[in-house]
């Protein structure tokens, strides 16, 4: 039986950089999740004949939320849902299923790299028929809808058993429960040369993959251990847990410190990688060596010819404005266009769909290609392994060669977390007002060449997005300031620093960025306004 339930709006259902993210307890408020889903359905309009993919990263509240979503979809007239077994799907696997099945989009229930559990975060990523998350024009409509919602529709029925593969029905709606891993693995086999990778492991090559107790464990075991022949136990923290076993599932130097320490110890394997909660982020490590995500993107772009899916050529590359310019230097020498977009994967979607780019990435441990419309953590690791297999070189050798060929961008991101929203907003507003006067100013050996907000004109749909403030220096260095759009409370100021060097390639990053950091702190008056003398997290 379909029930119509009266509800009252919540004022805060505005999507950020990657969907709607909130404290789990906020999401668990009466009708909160339902309001948001109904607002999406209301925005889409007629649900007849529509097909969606549904899954999640297994975090706390996933099971409850998926059942609500199923019942609401059935009540709203959706034709079919394709759901990962037990409600599990990584974000990249979900995007792939949306494209493969020509669906109208889908829902990945995840707060990505944010901690999970009852006291952690919960989130909803909503994608449309592109297989990528909806553009701001659509999320604005959903937000407007959520502020006026007065009722939602839900099927009054028992929960659907998501453990059994096959098709069941709820009312007129079909529910196909599929193996969460199978289609994704097949896609990876089409992109990469699995025989070459098997040979690599046969030759004694060792790796560690850290799934951070999140969704990629089963994908990684199937691919790395069962198919490619990496030693059993190569995949660690492989069982998805509702609270990620207390780990903060963000693969970076701070939150995957255990893996970094391991790779800098005498027990290190030849290669290591990690993924985040929903499997779209990646971290790459070699023996006593860390590859920055910006360098990783540049290296993938320089080595696409080793990958069967790209060997006949790629259209172009793209990066977010905050990402270092390393990939653009590679593109320039290879006569490829390099697009620079705002932070957030959704900005790459139009460029991929219009065949302007094939590879893209962000400094925030994300890289991917047009095989799907999300970033892809396991794909990035398979790409790296393929380069190693083809060249016989180590992670460190591959990275150093890239620096020699194209120069090295010393790069680091500094996050100032837990700020009061008003303080952060005022800091950004005042800084923006100050920018025009900065051009030509000297700070020690650094001279400002240009200072302005980053404004993106989408070449495909003509939309204009303003995101972040950028100070460029005459020596090629750059400071970018942005406020995070993925937090669930307060504000986080991100300060991104880049200094390209063509001679001194083996220096310590923090030392190389020391002066630039001081300029960044002083110009924005960070200490005076926030009380913080240093960042909470450096990545």
The DSSP 8-state label assigned to residue 306 in this structure reads G
18 binds, among ligand G1P, Zn ion, none (CB under 5 to 8 A by kind): ligand G1P
Burial of 531 (0-12, 13-18, 19+ CB in 10 A): exposed
x-marked contacts with ligand G1P along 13-52 as a string, rule CB under 6 A: ----xx----------------------------------
110 binding ligand G1P? (CB under 6 A): no
* Given the residues 112, 294, 370, 477, the one annotated as active site: 112
Tell me, yes or no, if 112 is annotated catalytic.
Answer: yes
Helix H or strand E encompassing 279: none
The span from the CA of 111 to the CA of 33, in Å, is 14
Residues binding ligand G1P: number (CB under 6 A)? 14
**Which residue, 251 or 286, is less far from ligand G1P as judged by CB?**
251
| Block residue for tokens 């400094």 | 363
Residues 345-404 that bind ligand G1P (CB under 6 A): 345, 362, 364, 366
DSSP string, 54-111: EEE---TTHHHHHHHHHHHHHHTTB-EEEEEEEEE--HHHHHHHHHHTT-S-EEEE--
The span from the CA of 469 to the CA of 456, in Å, is 12
CB of 133 to ligand G1P, least distance (A): 9
x-marked contacts with ligand G1P along 509-538 as a string, rule CB under 6 A: ------------------------------
Write out the two tokens for 47: 């649900």
CB of 494 to ligand G1P, least distance (A): 6
Q: Which residues of 168-203 are buried (b: 16+ CB within 10 A; e: fewer)?
A: eebeebebebbebbebbbebbeebbbbebbeebbee
**Which residue, 18 or 240, is less far from ligand G1P as judged by CB?**
18
Of 494, 496, 500, 520, the one binding ligand G1P (CB under 6 A) is: 494
The residues that touch Zn ion, with contacts defined as CB under 5 A, are 112, 276, 278, 280
**Which residue, 453 or 485, is less far from ligand G1P as judged by CB?**
485
CB of 375 to Zn ion, least distance (A): 8
CB of 244 to Zn ion, least distance (A): 12
Residues 50 and 79: beta-carbon distance below 8 Å: yes
Residues 247 and 259: beta-carbon distance below 8 Å: no
**Which residue, 36 or 481, is less far from ligand G1P as judged by CB?**
481
The span from the CA of 350 to the CA of 354, in Å, is 6
**Which residue, 364 or 386, is less far from Zn ion as judged by CB?**
364
Rg of the chain over CA atoms, in angstroms?
Answer: 23
486 binding ligand G1P? (CB under 6 A): yes
278 binds, among Zn ion, ligand G1P, none (CB under 5 to 8 A by kind): Zn ion
250 binds, among Zn ion, ligand G1P, none (CB under 5 to 8 A by kind): none
Nearest to 230, CA basis, from 267, 193, 198, 262 = 198
The span from the CA of 391 to the CA of 431, in Å, is 47
Phi, psi (degrees; rounded to nearest 5) at 26 = -70, -45
345 binds, among ligand G1P, Zn ion, none (CB under 5 to 8 A by kind): ligand G1P
Task: Using DSSP bridges, classify how beta strands 271-275 and 235-236 pair: parallel, antiparallel or unpaired.
Answer: unpaired
Task: Using DSSP bridges, classify how beta strands 359-362 and 338-341 pair: parallel, antiparallel or unpaired.
Answer: unpaired
CB of 273 to Zn ion, least distance (A): 15
**Which residue, 358 or 364, is less far from ligand G1P as judged by CB?**
364
x-marked contacts with ligand G1P along 325-354 as a string, rule CB under 6 A: ------------------xxx---------
Residues 287-326 that bind ligand G1P (CB under 6 A): 320
364 binds, among ligand G1P, Zn ion, none (CB under 5 to 8 A by kind): ligand G1P
131 binding ligand G1P? (CB under 6 A): no
CB of 259 to ligand G1P, least distance (A): 19
Quickly list H helices, 87-223. 91-100, 136-146, 182-191, 194-202, 217-220
Residues 31 and 5: beta-carbon distance below 8 Å: yes
Nearest to 127, CA basis, from 27, 48, 51, 214 = 51
248 binding ligand G1P? (CB under 6 A): no
Binding site for ligand G1P (CB under 6 A): 17-18, 112, 320, 343-345, 362, 364, 366, 484-486, 494
The residues that are catalytic are 112
């Amino acid at each position: 039986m379909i029930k119509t339930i009266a509800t009252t709006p919540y004022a805060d259902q505005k999507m950020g950089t990657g969907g709607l993210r909130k404290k789990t307890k906020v999401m668990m408020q009466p009708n909160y999740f339902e309001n948001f889903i109904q607002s999406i359905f209301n925005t889409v309009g007629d649900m007849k004949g529509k097909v969606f993919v549904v899954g999640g990263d297994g975090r706390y509240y996933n099971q409850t939320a998926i059942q609500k979503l199923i019942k609401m979809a059935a009540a709203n007239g959706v034709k079919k849902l394709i759901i990962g077994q037990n409600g599990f799907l990584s974000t990249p696997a979900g995007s792939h299923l949306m494209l493969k099945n020509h669906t109208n989009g889908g829902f990945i229930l995840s707060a990505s790299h944010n901690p999970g559990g009852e006291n952690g975060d919960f989130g909803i990523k909503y994608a449309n028929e592109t297989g990528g998350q909806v553009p701001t024009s659509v999320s604005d409509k959903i937000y407007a809808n959520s502020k006026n919602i007065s009722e939602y529709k839900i099927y009054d029925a028992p929960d659907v058993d998501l453990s059994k593969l096959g098709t069941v029905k709820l009312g007129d709606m079909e529910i196909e429960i599929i193996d969460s891993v199978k289609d994704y693995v097949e896609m990876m086999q089409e992109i990469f040369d699995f025989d070459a990778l098997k040979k690599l492991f046969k030759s004694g090559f060792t790796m560690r993959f850290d799934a951070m107790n999140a969704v990629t464990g089963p994908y990684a075991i199937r691919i790395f251990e069962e198919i490619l022949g990496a030693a059993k136990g190569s995949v660690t923290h492989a069982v998805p847990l509702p609270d990620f076993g207390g780990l903060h599932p963000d693969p970076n130097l701070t939150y995957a410190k255990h893996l970094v320490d391991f790779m800098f110890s005498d027990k290190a394997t030849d290669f290591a990688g990690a993924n985040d909660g929903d499997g779209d982020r990646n971290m790459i490590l070699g023996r006593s060596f860390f590859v920055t995500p910006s360098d990783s993107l540049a290296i993938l772009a320089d080595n696409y010819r080793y990958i069967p899916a790209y060997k006949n050529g790629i259209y172009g590359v793209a990066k977010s404005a905050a990402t270092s310019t390393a990939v653009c230097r590679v593109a320039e020498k290879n006569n490829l266009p390099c697009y620079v977009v705002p932070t957030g994967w959704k900005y790459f979607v139009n460029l991929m769909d219009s065949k302007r780019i094939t590879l893209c990435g962000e400094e925030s441990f994300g890289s991917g290609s047009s095989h799907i419309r999300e970033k892809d953590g396991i794909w990035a690791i398979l790409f790296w392994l393929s380069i190693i297999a083809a060249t016989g070189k180590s992670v460190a050798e591959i990275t150093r060669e890239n620096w020699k060929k194209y120069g090295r961008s010393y790069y680091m991101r500094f996050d100032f977390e837990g700020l009061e929203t008003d303080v952060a907003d005022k800091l950004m507003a005042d800084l923006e007002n100050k920018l025009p006067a900065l051009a030509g100013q000297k700070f020690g050996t650094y001279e400002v060449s240009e200072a302005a907000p980053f404004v993106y004109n989408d070449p495909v749909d003509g939309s204009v997005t303003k995101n972040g403030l950028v100070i460029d220096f005459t020596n090629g260095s750059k400071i970018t300031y942005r406020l995070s759009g993925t937090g669930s409370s307060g504000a986080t100021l991100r300060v991104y620093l880049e200094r390209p060097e063509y001679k001194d390639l083996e220096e310590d990053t923090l030392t190389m960025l020391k002066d630039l950091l001081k300029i960044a702190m002083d110009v924005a008056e960070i200490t005076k306004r926030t009380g913080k003398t240093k960042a909470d997290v450096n990545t």
